[in-house]
Amino acid sequence: MKINVFSENIYGSFELSERKYINAAKKILRFYLNEIFEKSCLSGHEFNTLSFDILYCDSTKTHEINREYRHKDYPADIITFAMFADSEEKFIFDGEINLGEIVIALDKVTEESVKKNTDFEHELLFLISHGIMHLLGFDHQTEEDYNFIIGIQNKALESL
């Protein structure tokens, strides 16, 4: 199976090794497919390619997106648009599923890594893995769901 991850960094003052995080995102998705495929939005569908986008920006941009699309007036560290998981039609074109888009505010990643006393890379990989879980149709409306998501995320990050 082929995995396409497209990324763009529009946060001009922040250098990021996009290739490194694309490769990590692919490994995380493969881990999830091995561990939780049957519980994901992909179960029961035939495909040979999965694609998604990662947009790196700042919290000004996530604030704008949050206001416009989610009607929430605050900057977020991550916003996920789960196109396949949230669609009733489950559109598959030529064997390819576009899972959607993950938007990450790099200034918030830095802020959170300082607050949690972790390094930037760990915090960014945590958010990427969290976004992928949302793209696969997982949500955390209950404490049980939240604990499941965090538990599988930690396993995915350990596998890197």
Long-range contacts of 47-50 (CB under 8 A, 24+ apart): 47/1, 47/92, 47/95, 47/96, 47/97, 48/1, 48/2, 48/95, 48/96, 49/1, 49/2, 49/3, 49/4, 49/95, 49/96, 49/97, 50/1, 50/2, 50/3, 50/4, 50/96, 50/97, 50/99
pLDDT > 70 in the chain, percent: 100
pLDDT of residue 88: 87
| pLDDT greater at residue 14 or residue 47 | 47
CATH number of the domain at 2-159, please? Answer: 3.40.390.30
pLDDT at 12 over 90: no
pLDDT of residue 124: 97
| 158 band by pLDDT with thresholds 50, 70 and 90 | very high
User: pLDDT, tens digit, for every residue of 79-126?
Assistant: 999 999 999 889 999 999 999 999 999 999 999 999 999 999 999 999
For the chain, give every domain's residue range. Answer: 2-159
User: pLDDT, tens digit, for every residue of 16-32?
Assistant: 999 999 999 999 999 99
pLDDT at 141 over 90: no
pLDDT at 152 over 90: yes
User: pLDDT, tens digit, for every residue of 22-72?
Assistant: 999 999 999 999 999 999 999 999 999 999 999 999 999 999 999 999 999
pLDDT of residue 2: 98
